[in-house]
């Protein structure tokens, strides 16, 4: 089913929209959540919460990419769950990928922080646009989808060490890029 038609179903408040969204993007949403939480029950609950969140957001939101929107909602809910689950323990996640770049992501925002976040987003998007296709894939799979280095290595036919090296170089490049533009981390 076409995303525009699916969004129109949400706009018309058709309950069939959630079923269609689940069929089309449910596995991707679950993967995003599970890669953050590493727990099936929590991932399933976060995906279900994401369906409700998407239902409540459309309308008025009219996303350009329904997949990206659904994954973003799922990711935000999963990160909130991760923080809540680990608040008392203060232990690390199996993949420390979120913590590796968490300093780039503000939590609670005032208006000025929102504007700064928009500037950082535009700067980050510009930096991402300069990456070659394979490095972009590696970066997005690691920091957006929270894939493990081993999974990324399998999908790119690189060794784990090569993926780690590329990630390390990209993080250093990103930090330098942001610093040169006056974005202090």
Domains 3-86 and 97-180 share a fold: no
Fold classified for 3-86? Rna Polymerase Sigma Factor; Chain: A (1.10.1740)
Res 92: pLDDT: 47
Domain limits, the chain = 3-86, 97-180
Q: CA-CA distances (angstroms) from residue 86 to 25, 42, 94, 111?
A: 28, 13, 12, 29
Spell out the CATH class of 97-180: mainly alpha
pLDDT in tens, 10-60: 999 998 999 999 999 999 999 999 988 889 999 999 999 999 999 999 888
Report the percentage of the chain scoring pLDDT > 70: 83
pLDDT in tens, 132-153: 999 999 999 998 888 899 999 9
Give me the chain's average pLDDT, please: 85
Contacts made by residues 164-168, CB under 8 angstroms, sequence distance 24+: 166/135, 166/138, 167/138, 167/139, 167/142
Res 94: pLDDT: 46
pLDDT in tens, 72-128: 899 999 988 988 887 755 544 444 555 555 555 555 555 566 666 678 788 888 999
């Amino acid at each position: 089913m076409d995303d525009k038609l699916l969004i129109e179903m949400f706009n018309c408040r058709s309950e069939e929209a959630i079923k269609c969204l689940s069929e089309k993007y449910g596995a991707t949403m679950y993967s995003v959540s599970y890669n953050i939480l590493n727990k099936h029950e929590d991932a399933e609950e976060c995906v279900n919460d994401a369906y409700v969140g998407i239902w409540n957001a459309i309308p008025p939101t009219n996303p350009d990419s329904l997949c990206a929107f659904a994954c973003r909602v799922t990711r935000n809910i999963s990160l909130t769950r991760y923080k809540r689950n680990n608040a008392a323990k203060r232990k690390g996640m199996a993949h420390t990928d979120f913590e590796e770049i968490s300093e780039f992501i503000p939590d609670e925002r005032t208006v000025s922080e929102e504007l700064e976040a928009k500037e950082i987003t535009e700067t980050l998007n510009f930096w991402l646009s300069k990456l070659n296709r394979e490095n972009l894939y590696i970066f997005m799979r690691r920091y957006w989808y929270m894939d493990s280095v081993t999974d990324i290595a399998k999908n790119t036919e690189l060794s784990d060490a090569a993926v780690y090296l590329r990630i390390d170089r990209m993080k250093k490049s990103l930090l330098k890029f942001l610093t040169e533009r006056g974005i202090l981390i």
